[in-house]
Amino acid sequence: MLRKRRPLMAEINVTPFVDVMLVLLVIFMVTAPLMQDGVELELPKETIAPVDIKDIPNISLQSNKTIHWNKKKLGNLVELTQQIGLYLQGNKNGGVYLQADKKLDYGFVMQVMATIKRAGIKNIGMVTDPKR
Domain segments of the chain as ranges: 58-126
Q: What is the pLDDT of residues 8-59, one digit of tens each?
A: 777 888 888 999 999 999 998 888 877 655 545 455 555 666 655 567 888 8
Classify residue 105 by its DSSP letter: -
Amino acid at 98: L
Which residue in 119, 109, 7 sits closest to 60, CA to CA? 109
Q: Is the overall model pTM greater than 0.75, yes or no?
A: no
Q: What is the pLDDT of residues 50-65, one digit of tens each?
A: 655 567 888 888 888 8
CATH of 58-126, picked from 3.50.50.60, 3.40.50.10540, 3.30.420.270, 3.30.200.20, is 3.30.420.270
- Work out the burial of residue 107: count CB atoms within 10 Å of its CB; fewer than 13 is exposed, 13-18 middle, 19 or more buried: exposed
Does the pLDDT value for residue 77 go beyond 70? yes
In this predicted structure, what is the pLDDT of residue 19? 93
Q: Mean pLDDT lowest for which of 36-40, 47-51, 88-92, 122-126?
A: 36-40
Classify residue 39 by its DSSP letter: -
Contact present, 77 and 113 (Cβ < 8 Å): no
Bridge-based pairing state of the strands 95-100 and 72-74 = unpaired
The beta strand positions in the chain, using DSSP E, are 58-61, 67-69, 72-74, 95-100, 123-126
